[in-house]
Structure 1
Amino acid sequence: MNINFNTQSIVLSESMRSHCVTKADHLFALHPQATEIFVSIIHHRSYGQYDVELKVHAEHQWCFVKHSGDEFYHVAAEAFSAMTQKLRKQKTKAKKELRDHSLEVEHDE
């Protein structure tokens, strides 16, 4: 598992980094097919809002989510939660496609 951080207009505190790493560890535990996470954090000082963007490599493709809000820890938690749901849907879709393909092969024989 590999976690990469990119920040803009903010110095990432140890607490913020730890929060993201904890959430990423949980995501990796639930979705071992995930191999890499890019966490991009942008702080818009003019209106006090954070953008947290996650890009995760899993199942030979990239998934992307973005959440925004005025409280970093809540925004980060929401982004990781959304990514967990997205990966769950991706995994379910892949299993269904595999099952459907297996049924087609059996039917062809």
Structure 2
Amino acid sequence: MKITTKDIALTESMKVDVEEKANHLQHLFPDLANGHFHIIYHASYEEFECEIHASNHDEVFFAKEKGKEFLPTLTHVTKALQHQLEKQKTKHSIKHENHGLQG
């Protein structure tokens, strides 16, 4: 997954945190493509903004969270995207199950 930033230079530990979250998502959703983490630091608010863009099965997903601390904000945005992907996976499974019942 691609990592970009605005108004912040990520430390090595921050990069590792992002890579771990990206790997976790990729492990749970192997078909995940075009993943992109964008990290912004708003100095005037002393706040992090973390965004994730990704696509899975021709659907585009986006999650964004803001917070004062980096790791909790990153964790929340990752969980938000994971929740969206799980909903899509469930919807996709039900669609296939129903399709099998119609034949």
Q: 2:51 aligns with which of 50, 53, 59?
A: 53
Partner of residue 38, structure 2: 40
* Partner Cα separation in structure 2 for residue 49 and residue 81 of structure 1: 19
Partner of residue 98, structure 2: 100
Secondary structure at the aligned position of 2:35 is classed as strand
Residue-by-residue CA offset, 1:63-91 (whole Å, 9 max, x unaligned): 10001100011100111111111111110
1:26 aligns with 2:27: no
Question: What RMSD in Å do the two structures reach over aligned CA positions?
Answer: 1.1
Higher alpha-carbon deviation: 54-63 or 67-76: 54-63
Secondary structure at the aligned position of 2:25 is classed as helix
C-alpha displacement of 1:31: 1.0
Percent identical among aligned pairs is 31
Residue-by-residue CA offset, 1:3-25 (whole Å, 9 max, x unaligned): 11121111111111110101111
Task: Give the TM-score, by structure 1 length.
Answer: 0.88
C-alpha displacement of 1:43: 0.6
- For the pair shown, the structure with the greater C-alpha radius of gyration is 1
C-alpha displacement of 1:95: 1.0
Secondary structure at the aligned position of 1:40 is classed as strand
Q: 1:73 aligns with which of 71, 74, 84?
A: 71
| Structure 1: unaligned runs, 5 residues or longer | none
List structure 1 segments (4+ residues) > 3 angstroms apart after TM superposition.
none
- Please list, as runs of the form range in 1=range in 2, the aligned pairs for 1:78-93 lying within 5 A after superposition: 78-93=76-91
| Structure 2: unaligned runs, 5 residues or longer | none
* Partner Cα separation in structure 2 for residue 48 and residue 62 of structure 1: 30
Residue-by-residue CA offset, 1:15-40 (whole Å, 9 max, x unaligned): 11110101111111111121231001
